[in-house]
Structure 1
Amino acid sequence: MNKIEIRTVDVVRYVQPLREGGSLPAIVKADDGFLYVIKFRGAGQGKKALISEFIGGEMARSIGLNVPEIVFMNLDDSFSKTEPDEEIQDLLKFSVGLNLGLHFLTGSITYDPLVSEIDALTASKVVLLDSIISNIDRTAKNTNLLHWNKELWIIDNGASFYFHHDWSTWENHLTRTFPLIKDHVLLSKATKLEEAAAIIKKSLSLEKITDIISSIPADWLTSETDEMTGLEIKNAYTLFLKTRLSKIDALIKEAIDAR
């Protein structure tokens, strides 16, 4: 198995905010010359949204879905000093350090369930993945999917793993399924769930999951409000995903019943 390697780049220019995102992501240029959409550690959901974005994105990539390259992005304190907008200024100030970036897909368009085409196996992979990571934000109102170069691309998994906002009750989620799958934008097209499940089980071994979770930056795991250590949090994500994968047949049945 190839271990994942995540590049770290430095932000050299703040290009523009993306106002459609509630957490004010932005387009920035990095020292490698490329443009990225940066998700800020100082935004509403904080570092936990970056962790969700990272785990969900790398899991999607592992099962053969298209995901823009994910990088870690260093942001220094110089940008907040030159930003005239007070809201963005504060965001940049609170985000000094390591953030998360996704390669900017120039010319991409938002997936439209009424006109965009997608094959059943891809739709089924996305639906099952979102069941596994409990992603509550891939609905018709907010698809978090892009069309680029005639292919579907997965973005914005930041609303996944919502249990991690209260670690005191996270173990209750180990026995649950994901009823909110009924609102998934691709559910009606996901007619090859069993085939998708076979690919997911083969691709997401415990070794692969451990590799992804071990790559989470240590300082994203620390919080003044969490009593668990970084290692305990990593073990919790691993156990959650291991449990979800073991009950993938129940997730399939839930999705079929919802459809």
Structure 2
Amino acid sequence: MAYIPPQLRTVNVTRYVTPLREGGSLPAIAEADDGFLYVLKFRGAGQGPKALIAELIGGEIARTLGFKMPELVFVNLDEAFGRTEADEEIQDLLKFSVGLNLALHYLQGAITFDPTVTFVEPKLASQIVWLDALLTNVDRTARNTNMLMWHKELWLIDHGAALYFHHSMDNWEEQSLRPFVQIKDHVLLRKAEFLDEVDAEFKAILTPEVINTIVSIVPDEWLTDRSFETEDDQRQVYAQFLNKRLSNSNIFVTEAKNARSQLI
């Protein structure tokens, strides 16, 4: 299957519908000028634009690997939106998020994945576990699965907690070789029987060219780490981190297999 580079659309917020208070970063349902509803992730939230970077890179890697992912779009937020909001917390969030944000298409009627109700095939479970081990995604646990069931299919959402190395990038190379011990808490780990098979399949897809292309779409205005001379320098570290992690995937695959052996 030929690789199709990501081409994110850009929309403008026309209506703030309601906050989603179960999210720590206070995302919201918002309507855009294309008439669709989106789950809007704000650059002014607690983790700042780095959460949006993780959401974008993680989401587009997932899409490239064939997972079902709501469409990601860039979202412009006008400064006028914060002026009429009565809730001071939301007003501040909107004020600090003026400019370019990120959103996922709102899956109307979707329900939260419940591992006690829905059976997941071992191959799919292995694929999701592998993805999260690559991305160092700490947020796919039984407490917070960050998966939805929509039209009887499993959809992945919310990769904002992934790539946590970027909160301290000085030793990114060392961090890229860490095994990701938090995989022991993954909600699907027990069913992940085919990690070696998935490792070979997914590494063939995620070539350095593919990774570099995905990282290249991160907007300049989100790349605010002043320890880098240019935005491209910061992008390059994301690409190098992921490519090095892929080259040494046996480290995180072995960790996942060992953690699974403790469960079965």
Q: Which bracket does the TM-score occupy, shorter chain normalised?
A: over 0.9
Unaligned 5+ runs, structure 2:
none
Letter in 1 for 2:63: R
Deviation at 1:195, TM superposition (A): 2.3
**3-state secondary structure, aligned to 1:9:** strand
**3-state secondary structure, aligned to 2:83:** helix
Determine the structure 1 residue equivalent to 2:29: 27
1:257 aligns with 2:255: no
Deviation at 1:191, TM superposition (A): 1.0
Letter in 2 for 1:88: I
**3-state secondary structure, aligned to 2:51:** helix
Counterpart Cα distance in 2 of 1:212 and 1:191:
29
Determine the structure 2 residue equivalent to 1:151: 153
Mapping of residues 207-226 of structure 1, within 5 Å: 207-223=209-225, 226=227
- Say whether the 8 Å CA contact 2:129–2:186 is kept in structure 1: yes
Determine the structure 2 residue equivalent to 1:237: 238
Letter in 2 for 1:144: N
Deviation at 1:227, TM superposition (A): 4.2
Counterpart Cα distance in 2 of 1:125 and 1:77:
41
Determine the structure 2 residue equivalent to 1:169: 171
Unaligned 5+ runs, structure 1:
none
Deviation at 1:115, TM superposition (A): 1.2
Q: RMSD across aligned C-alpha pairs, in angstroms? A: 1.2
1:5 aligns with 2:7: yes
**3-state secondary structure, aligned to 2:89:** helix
TM score, norm. by length of structure 1: 0.96
Distance 1:54 1:117, change over 3 A: same
Mapping of residues 90-101 of structure 1, within 5 Å: 90-101=92-103
Deviation at 1:197, TM superposition (A): 1.4
Counterpart Cα distance in 2 of 1:23 and 1:8:
22
- Equivalent residue in structure 1 for 2:106, among 104, 107, 115: 104
Deviation at 1:162, TM superposition (A): 0.7
Deviation at 1:223, TM superposition (A): 3.9
Mapping of residues 111-190 of structure 1, within 5 Å: 111-190=113-192
**3-state secondary structure, aligned to 1:42:** coil
- Equivalent residue in structure 2 for 1:195, among 191, 194, 197: 197
Letter in 1 for 2:122: A
Equivalent pairs counted in the alignment come to 258
Letter in 1 for 2:75: M
Deviation at 1:172, TM superposition (A): 2.4
Identical-pair percentage: 56
- Equivalent residue in structure 2 for 1:89, among 65, 88, 91: 91
Deviates more, 1:157-166 or 1:112-121: 112-121
Deviates more, 1:166-175 or 1:155-164: 166-175
- Say whether the 8 Å CA contact 2:178–2:252 is kept in structure 1: no
Counterpart Cα distance in 1 of 2:201 and 2:152:
23
Determine the structure 2 residue equivalent to 1:64: 66
- Say whether the 8 Å CA contact 1:63–1:199 is kept in structure 2: no
Letter in 1 for 2:257: I
Counterpart Cα distance in 1 of 2:106 and 2:197:
31
Counterpart Cα distance in 1 of 2:200 and 2:219:
30
Counterpart Cα distance in 2 of 1:94 and 1:169:
29
